Structure 1
């Protein structure tokens, strides 16, 4: 196949047709043609030659040119692609070192193998251009809903025609056991767009919580306009979902707006999600109130929040337990996802038994340590005293406010509590010393004898050992493993040491040892003060 005047215009027509079919720039196709013709020319004239092809964008004429670079005599290495300055001047009088000398060569006559090779180059370049175009088109559409047509199924995954490319809906991203046949219309959420070895991949999802959020945005104009905001979504795809909404206009009810007239708006979303039941919940900044809403339709008697542990205990009437938990734990699981808290649900009976056990335990503690009768111990517990420290160091007036307590009784109780604490401190220090705690840690301010004993049992016996600890190792914390929150027990957690306190203690130890320059800590402290101001 020679590039003659008879088929010069055919090059441009072919490039235009391919570009139109693949929806890419025609110039990219022509560049691919130029590269393929240049490769074919090298196979004809020699691979060591630098041959370039230029196709005129108006006439379609292909010009084959041999390029040689002018070099110094001693730098000449490739006679086919280089020439000396003396040789160059004979061709181009004003040539200097570094110039390129261009000689036009006759067009090649492509044989069958060369033509096939040129075709492969063109196809490869077109595919690359098509992939780039597809990635650029869909990368900014991540997080939106797209309509497509099912093309085929591969190993349970659905290949979807999305207009200018293909997308994949993996089987674990389908709702329940829904199935599709070729040419079925499908609506899905663009979960991710990535470049991969085989080209850009558009990954779809129908189980992602944001798919439901985007559907509501399409059905509820107030959400699209920003009057109503979706604050959180939790789904058990194909079965049940909870969505929390808030209105920034007091005249608009967020739940009613999402439900629509006679349920028309929510029903449209339900139909798209294969009958998934949706609970629409008003969002509230107060965690306890929000959780009570999230556990609907169950009734809640009491909520106890442990903010540090990110955990919450919900007390419900005995007859409401199964409703609060839901079938296979579905209701409480969705409420937990919605609030981002670990939720423990207990009945009023269990809560009463727990409180009674705590009351009995504290009563016994005061009876044993203060050598008082059961009635006096129960009075202390009833007034909210939980440990000896509170009795020993509370203001005397608080003890005098208890019925039956006079000044002599209150003073004697405080004296006994302090003596008991002192004896416990002496014993704890002896144990710590016996375990090998050194003076550097004993003299460190902020650690009680009981803390020193606990640290020694964990192998922390010097100030250097203490300074190498992480704050969470001391105060405890939570780690997420396979989507579940796992408790990390801290060495000093039983002494109610917070993460901030643990961090302060560790950093103080590092400063004392010279590991940290105190000046480096000042900017952070100043930032905290500014934030508080």
Structure 2
């Protein structure tokens, strides 16, 4: 069929009908038609030709135009779509500037009589006869249109959902494949609820309504992919936001959520209005609000916990319904020790460790739970180890060593270098006894340092490392045992390699032991020592470090003047 013989308005009517059906812009359908007609024209006139097709948005008339671009002679490759400025002069005349032939420069129509000489980048457009579309060309055009329409649908779907990630949507189950549920989103295509994102052993039938959390929206080659979840902690938070007006209004804030999907969950809330109880507001009258969430989550039991800035208090709340006797927090390691009565141990741990695991997720801390008896046994063991240390190192009897431990002394360094007045507070210790204790402690420490230094040298530790300020002989020995034997070796170490730290492996906190961690070297201290070593070796210019300090000083002065 020839384009000119067809009803030209039929093109516009078809575009509008397709656009209405697919809920996309009619202009996108017309663009697809133009591209398909352009491909058909190239198959008729030659693939190397640059044929443009323009469909008038009002009349539906399709105009076929051959385009040739001016290029420098050395860049000429396609003789059908390009020509040199010399060749272009034959067409660069006022007579060519008619309705069917015209020139464009930078996308604007120009008059050759006023434009001077043709320039690289100029385009010459000349009309060509419309093509006859055979069966193959028509089929190809149809495929192009369908492809463009699908792309437009995908773009529309992505644009509609890219900002809905993190919200709850309703859909209808379309089918279930190998445990994965395909959900029909009315007017927006399909979404996927994967098997591991379903609660327990949920099973859905086609046509059943489903509510889920939009976990992720991705633009992929096959189109936008919408991934749903019913196990995400955020799903519970969003459900509470829907059921509790105070959360939606921002009066109550959800600080943390931990879930064992389908079984149990903990949610920490805080109220910014002293007159509103956050736990009571979330529970609702006769439990109506929390029950609505429980029903949606297939009977999942929910503990609503008041959030507290104090970690110890928050943890005690998080371990409910178990009672806690004592909490010891190690902030550097992000670990916490909890002591509970013997009869509360199983309740605190929970079935298969569920309660303590959820409390750990809620607080972001690793939790060790022990009974009061276990805590007492551990403290007794520490007491005995320190007592034996003082007995062996300082040649003391058991009673006197126990006195030191009872007064809080834990290391030889504390005894050797503490103020004498602190030793005199111990019953039975006078000036002479205190002096003798410190002398013995210092002698032992010096002997240990000499032994460590000898071993470090035997391992190959060089004087550049041994003489580095801030490293004790025991530290040098530890470094040498880890194959750090020179100042250059030390300067290449990362701060965490020296001080240790924590990393996350698939959501599990893993401890990285540092070479100098046993000597209580903090991360900041390790950073300073490594940087000092690099400056000493000339790897870092000390002047590069000065502006930061000067800038900080100037800022401080400005603040002081402002305050004055």
Alignment partner of 1:86 is 2:101: no
- Which residue of 378, 383, 387 maps to 1:354? 378
Following the alignment from structure 1 to structure 2, what is the Cα–Cα distance between the partners of residues 72 and 261? 81
Alignment partner of 1:275 is 2:299: yes
2:18 match = 18
Ranges in structure 2 where 5+ consecutive residues have no aligned partner: 98-110, 560-564
- Which residue of 134, 149, 152 maps to 2:157? 134
- Which residue of 509, 518, 526 maps to 1:502? 526
Aligned CA RMSD, in angstroms, stands at: 2.2
- 1:421-500 aligned within 5 A: 421-500=445-524
Shift of 1:29: 0.4
CA displacement 1:410-441 (0-9 Å, x = unmatched): 22212221222222222222222222222111
Shift of 1:53: 1.7
TM-aligned CA distance change 1:92 to 1:450, over 3 Å: same
Shift of 1:91: 5.0
Shift of 1:84: 3.7
Following the alignment from structure 1 to structure 2, what is the Cα–Cα distance between the partners of residues 14 and 241? 54
Shift of 1:210: 0.6
Q: Is the 8 A contact 2:69 2:81 kept in 1?
A: no
Q: Which has the higher mean CA deviation after the structures are superposed, 294-303 or 75-84?
A: 75-84
Following the alignment from structure 2 to structure 1, what is the Cα–Cα distance between the partners of residues 336 and 375? 13
Shift of 1:7: 2.1
TM-aligned CA distance change 1:385 to 1:39, over 3 Å: same
TM-aligned CA distance change 1:310 to 1:527, over 3 Å: farther
Following the alignment from structure 1 to structure 2, what is the Cα–Cα distance between the partners of residues 464 and 424? 26
Q: Is the 8 A contact 1:392 1:415 kept in 2?
A: yes
1:223 match = 247
Shift of 1:5: 5.7
Alignment partner of 1:160 is 2:183: yes
Shift of 1:528: 7.3
Following the alignment from structure 2 to structure 1, what is the Cα–Cα distance between the partners of residues 398 and 81? 108
CA displacement 1:255-275 (0-9 Å, x = unmatched): 111111111111111111111
1:117 match = 140
Q: Is the 8 A contact 1:283 1:290 kept in 2?
A: yes
Shift of 1:513: 0.8
Shift of 1:206: 0.7
Shift of 1:45: 2.7
TM-aligned CA distance change 1:46 to 1:452, over 3 Å: closer
1:210 match = 234
Ranges in structure 1 where 5+ consecutive residues have no aligned partner: none
Q: Is the 8 A contact 2:499 2:517 kept in 1?
A: yes
1:300 match = 324
TM-aligned CA distance change 1:73 to 1:138, over 3 Å: closer
Alignment partner of 1:416 is 2:417: no
1:248 match = 272
**TM-score w.r.t. structure 1 length?**
0.95
Secondary structure of the structure 1 residue equivalent to 2:162: helix
2:67 match = 67
Number of residue pairs matched by the alignment:
533
1:35 match = 35
TM-aligned CA distance change 1:100 to 1:357, over 3 Å: closer
Following the alignment from structure 2 to structure 1, what is the Cα–Cα distance between the partners of residues 249 and 372? 44
1:97 match = 118
Alignment partner of 1:344 is 2:365: no
Following the alignment from structure 1 to structure 2, what is the Cα–Cα distance between the partners of residues 317 and 524? 53
Shift of 1:370: 1.4
1:314 match = 338
Q: Is the 8 A contact 1:72 1:84 kept in 2?
A: no
Q: Which has the higher mean CA deviation after the structures are superposed, 421-430 or 262-271?
A: 421-430
**TM-score w.r.t. structure 2 length?**
0.90
1:239 match = 263
2:107 match = none
Shift of 1:460: 1.7
Q: Which has the higher mean CA deviation after the structures are superposed, 392-401 or 328-337?
A: 392-401
